[in-house]
Amino acid sequence: MAMDETKTRVVILTDAYRISGQIDLVPGARITDFLHEARAFIAVTHAEVWEIGGRKVLAAPFINVSRDHIHVVTPES
């Protein structure tokens, strides 16, 4: 099964958490543009949330992440 072309795997860092998952990004769009146009929360699917210290906090099919708490977003490598 082919991966959905609008889904982009990302890592999001906040003060306390590292979140990995997928965001719905239009092909050719930049993550910076996505964040600039986002409202107060961004949707992350297939999400895993880890404490910065390394303990896994949760895994969920969907979470909303407050844009105000995001420090770094990068494509997952």
In this model, does residue 2 exceed pLDDT 70? no
In this model, does residue 71 exceed pLDDT 60? yes
**Cβ count within 10 A of residue 47:** 19
Query: For position 27, what pLDDT does the model report?
Result: 82
Please count the CA atoms within 13 angstroms of the CA of 15 that sit on its side-chain side: 4
CATH number assigned to the domain comprising residue 15:
2.30.30.100
pLDDT in tens, 24-41: 988 888 999 898 889 999
Q: Report yes or no on 33 lying in a domain.
A: yes
Using CA atoms, how far apart are residues 31 and 22, in angstroms rounded to an integer?
12
Structure confidence at residue 77 as a pLDDT band (50, 70, 90): confident
What range defines the domain where residue 44 resides? 7-75
Tallying the residues shown for the chain, one arrives at 77
Give pTM, 2 decimals.
Answer: 0.88
In this model, does residue 20 exceed pLDDT 80? yes
Number of folded domains in the chain?
1
Cβ neighbourhood burial of 65 (10 Å; 0-12, 13-18, 19+): buried
